[in-house]
Structure 1
Amino acid sequence: GRNKTEVLEAKAPKVSSKGRLPIVDDGNFFRKHVEFMLTKMGWEVETANNGDLAMKVLAGSSSSSFTAIVSDLEMPTMDGFTFAQNVRKAKGWSSIPMLAMTSSYSDPVVARALESGFDQLLPKDQLDSIETLINNVIRMRKETAHAA
């Protein structure tokens, strides 16, 4: 009979993804949860557990290879605020849509995140809205680009 590998290879062709997202969060459980959710929704996901590693992921890619960036704010090594500032300063990355996630959602945190270069902020307890917000920041950036 047919061996198992042939059966595995006969799976349906991969549906083209909605886009590619780096997810940056130091919490392993949370990062895996977000990765699982977004993968299930049809996004292609790359993960990093701090801003420093995420910068290395971006450095090895062209800005057109990612649709948007989703990052936590509170992380060791390089926090989300510094990461966003570095992304905005990096050649070719200044206009990529960026969504911040935080468990300490407050007006000062929102203000600081927006100042750092994020387009919007998602409270971690409202994860159900993640795809809506990803699409929002992508749309916001497109509109800004057309207006310029």
Structure 2
Amino acid sequence: MKALVIDDSRTMRRIVKNILMNVGYEVFEAGDGQEALGVLENEGGINLCCIDWNMPVMDGLTFVKKVREVGAWREITLMMVTTESEHSQIVRALAAGAHEYVIKPFTPEAIYQKMELLGLLPAEEMI
């Protein structure tokens, strides 16, 4: 399984990357939505994107909308991982095509629970 972590914070990318690698994912990184689109175009086979909302160049919501416009990417699971905690923001992200929403700060278990709900956690790794 392959994942793409999209966040302008290198530290946050490393944290999420480690969480995903602990359950066997091959993880790619991008510092903003525009860079992430390039990774999707070049890499292929991405199963999960963990996306921050507030980033330079292209924010997470715009990235979600762009991914949903491309037929080949419609099956990618999109999970917002962000500090945006207002109900209206959560609704906007889900309406745009995000599957799940995790509010920072979070625990690894919170990420794993969302992954389990989405069927993206290998059976032997379920917590």
- TM surpasses 0.5: yes
Map 1:66-145; keep pairs closer than 5 Å: 66-128=46-108, 129-138=110-119
Aligned residues: 119
Q: Which has the higher helix share?
A: 1
Name the TM-score, length of structure 2 as normaliser.
0.86
Does the 8 A contact of 1:70 with 1:98 survive in 2? yes
One-letter amino acid matched to 2:48: A
SS at match of 1:70: strand
Consecutive unaligned residues in structure 2, runs of 5 or more = 121-127
**How many Å separate the matches in 2 of 1:127 and 1:31?**
14
Which has the larger Rg? 1
CA RMSD between the two structures: 1.4
Cα offset for 1:134? Answer: 2.3
Q: Which amino acid aligns with 1:130?
A: I
Identity of aligned residues (%): 27
Unaligned runs of 5+ in 1: 1-18, 140-148
What letter corresponds to residue 66 of structure 1 in structure 2? I
1:31 aligns with 2:13: yes
